[in-house]
A = this chain, B = another copy of it.
Amino acid sequence: MAQNGRLQGLGMLVLSVLLHPVMTTAQQPALNLMPLPASAQPVTGSLAVDSSFSVAFAGHNEPRLERAGERFLRQLARQTGLPLSFKPAKTAKATLVVQTDHASKEVQELGEDESYVLEVTAAGAKLTAPTPLGTMHGLQTFLQLVDVSPSGFAAPALKIQDQPRFPWRGLMIDSARHFIPLEVIRRNIDGMEAVKMNVFHWHLSENQGFRVESRRFPKLHELGSDSLYYTQDEIRDLIAYARDRGIRVVPEFDMPGHSTAWFAGHPELASGKGPYEIERRWGIFDPAMDPTNEKVYKFLDELIGEMARIFPDHYFHIGGDEVNGKEWDANPKIQAFMKTHGIKNNEALQAYFSGRVQKLVTRHGKAVVGWDEVLVEGVPKDIVIQSWRGQASLAQAAKKGYRGILSNGYYLDLGWSAARHYAVDPMSGDAANLSAEEKQRILGGESCMWAEYVNPENVDSRVWPRNAAIAERLWSPQEVRDPASMYARLDFVSARLEWLGLAHRTALRHMLQRLAGSASPVEFAALRTLTEVVEPVKDYTREQTAPAEPSSNTPMNRVVDAVPLESDAGRRFGELVDQFLASACHDPAGEARLRSQLTLWRDNDAVLQPLAQRSFLVKEVAASSQDLSALGTAGLAALDVIAKGQPALDSWKAQQLAIIDQLKKPKAQLLLIPAPAVQRLIEAAAAGGACSTSKP
């Protein structure tokens, strides 16, 4: 798939650094595009974008393209501050002429043509695409190209030929554990459009909530949602909103586990005696549907039928994950059924359930998506496996003829860095060894935003900007994988995303203001200095180290809720340290920058402590603040030793590393991110001044 174009693209990007004035500015990335296109070929010059900018649509047209044109112009006006006319022009003399060949499918399908060609010259721009899907992607590329220049706003002259690497590029948002209002969903869909993702997977039911209005079974949302649910009209609007942006909406109704909220209104579906109420805690719980009860299938048949009419997408997600089987074990009727039908264990019982539900979904004209567990003997080949287990599981499925998407490695709630997600490739590991035909069965991937520690206020910051790196992994050629380039572009895209209404930066600042109360400006600056270099603990540590049992009623107003999952300042400090150690240890500019940063950290605690005495929320991070101070002191000591050019005593090294070990321990569920970089300074100091050779 586009192997030549891809390599050409990479070559041309390198070339562009040499040729193009806009792109040659020192340390600026060649093109601020994310995802990077399959191929980009620079041309001399640039296209001025001023108040006279206009766009015209030729070829196939439809109301969706008109709306896309107006949205494009509004966004261009917002990002430039130019007073543009928001109506697409009628003339072929427009600055940007868009040619769309033909309509795409009325209900967007997996694997439709999303390609486009964008040519920008000093005289104008032309965007051509077979379908509106490609057109919309090309418009987003153009928006990313426009930037401030020495002579006004401009887009660099170039030719881009682009298409996605994978046809399924999704974001899942769990709006069941914490309800996420539609306006927040909408702005996240705007973000998906900007980075060319095309599947919004909506996790709509959970132990903690059933979030969709059911007219057939109204007790589902009436008793299962605390009145926090989407009406069917709202859902139809959201689906239209997503379609307008080239995005499919795949609903998920998780069963037979993860379904306590269903049982609040319909205990007869469960395997236990009940009574049931909406679960408030997090975790894996016992309640599960009764796979031996024919009434359950009748109920699901009607419910799936109702939901299949609301959600037009061909795919219908039935979850299927994490059943602990305790209710099944405890129910004599179920045990008897298993014996009668030769069902050996709970896994086989779940397989039986999955098979039955899959047939219901098929009956309503849909194909099943499910987590790894739904791949059981005999299910038809049109299902799609969403793998939380990983590439090996996907590869195994592909060999059996099943298609799959990767989510293992893309769980946004685990707090991984963008670079770590970025390094995860659906085609790596066992998948790399598949035949070409088998590889075709790996459709792409989905990032997953599980919502135990996510609410409407901070969800944007948990999805963005890291999700843009995953979007690039799923769109751009496999060879596009330099994390430094990714981070440079991610910084740029992150700022742009706030223009769409995403609040991943703004909301966190507001949350810090809440923590800080009536802090003085100097105190607030100290709080920012600390919070810029800590991250929440990773993976499932937050749950495991929770001070009290967390639940959906737990306030999310702590520092751990208000800091980004990835610390930019921490990453940049690490880069500075590595540059300093890799080049020449006494590089005075590098040393000065490190000293300045470390001194700031050392002295920060004295400013912050008075605020910690006034705010219980700041008090919680007082120990982290002391740690940052100690880290500054340790780093400065290491620089002093390095400056002397003599190896330090072993006892000094041991003492300093013992300090770092203490500072690496999470406090208030926060990690002090620059600690490993300071450790590298200490190790270099201990090895003596010859540090320029001590690093590769």
Contact = CB atoms under 8 A, between A and B. Distances in A.
A457 B81 contact: yes
A150 B619 contact: yes
A616 B148 contact: yes
Contacts of A80: 514, 555, 557
A571 to B, nearest CB: 11
A551 to B, nearest CB: 10
Nearest to A492: B518
A168 B492 CA distance: 47
Contacts of A495: 513
A510 B80 CA distance: 11
Interface string A19-38: 00000011111001000000
Contacts of A79: 514
A148 B555 contact: no
Contact of A614 (B25, B511, B513): B25
- Copies of this chain present: 2
A83 B552 CA distance: 9
B518 A32 contact: yes
A27 B518 CA distance: 10
A298 interface: no
A86 to B, nearest CB: 10
A80 B514 CA distance: 7
Contacts of A492: 518
B148 A51 contact: no
Contacts of A511: 81
Nearest to A25: B614
Interface in A154-206: none
A29 B557 contact: no
Contacts of A615: 148-150
A516 B496 CA distance: 12
B614 A149 contact: yes
Interface in A451-476: 457
Contacts of A27: 520
Nearest to A83: B553
A539 interface: no
B83 A151 contact: no
A11 interface: no
Interface core residue of A29, A513, A568, A613 (most chain B CB under 10 Å) = A513
Given A51-B555, A498-B510, A510-B498, A148 B81 contact: no
A419 interface: no
Contacts of A552: 83
Nearest to A568: B521
Nearest to A85: B226
Contacts of A652: none
A83 B550 CA distance: 13
A147 interface: yes
A687 interface: no
A48 to B, nearest CB: 11
A69 to B, nearest CB: 17
Nearest to A512: B495
Interface core residue of A28, A515, A613 (most chain B CB under 10 Å) = A28
A555 B147 contact: no
A148 B517 contact: yes
Interface in A579-623: 610, 613-619
Interface core residue of A80, A499, A553, A616 (most chain B CB under 10 Å) = A616
Contact of A517 (B147, B516, B618): B147
A109 interface: no
B499 A510 contact: yes
Interface string A484-522: 000000011001001100000010001101111110110
Contact of A81 (B25, B28, B556, B568): B556
A379 interface: no
Interface string A532-566: 00000000000000000000111111000100000
Contacts of A613: 150
Interface core residue of A517, A615, A619 (most chain B CB under 10 Å) = A517
A506 B617 CA distance: 24
B510 A28 contact: no
Contacts of A610: 25-26
B148 A514 contact: yes
Nearest to A615: B148
A152 B619 CA distance: 11
Nearest to A619: B150
Nearest to A515: B148
A616 B514 contact: no
A572 interface: yes
Contacts of A32: 518
B457 A521 contact: no
What 4 pairs across the A-B complex have the smallest Cβ distances? Answer: A81-B557, A148-B517, A148-B615, A147-B517
Given A81-B557, A83-B552, A150-B619, 15 more contacts: A28-B518, A29-B518, A32-B518, A79-B514, A81-B555, A82-B557, A83-B554, A147-B517, A148-B614, A148-B616, A149-B614, A149-B615, A149-B616, A150-B613, A150-B614
26 contacts: A28-B518, A51-B553, A51-B555, A79-B514, A80-B514, A80-B555, A80-B557, A81-B556, A81-B561, A83-B553, A83-B554, A147-B518, A148-B514, A148-B517, A148-B614, A148-B616, A148-B617, A149-B615, A150-B613, A150-B614, A150-B619, A151-B616, A491-B521, A492-B518, A499-B510, A506-B506
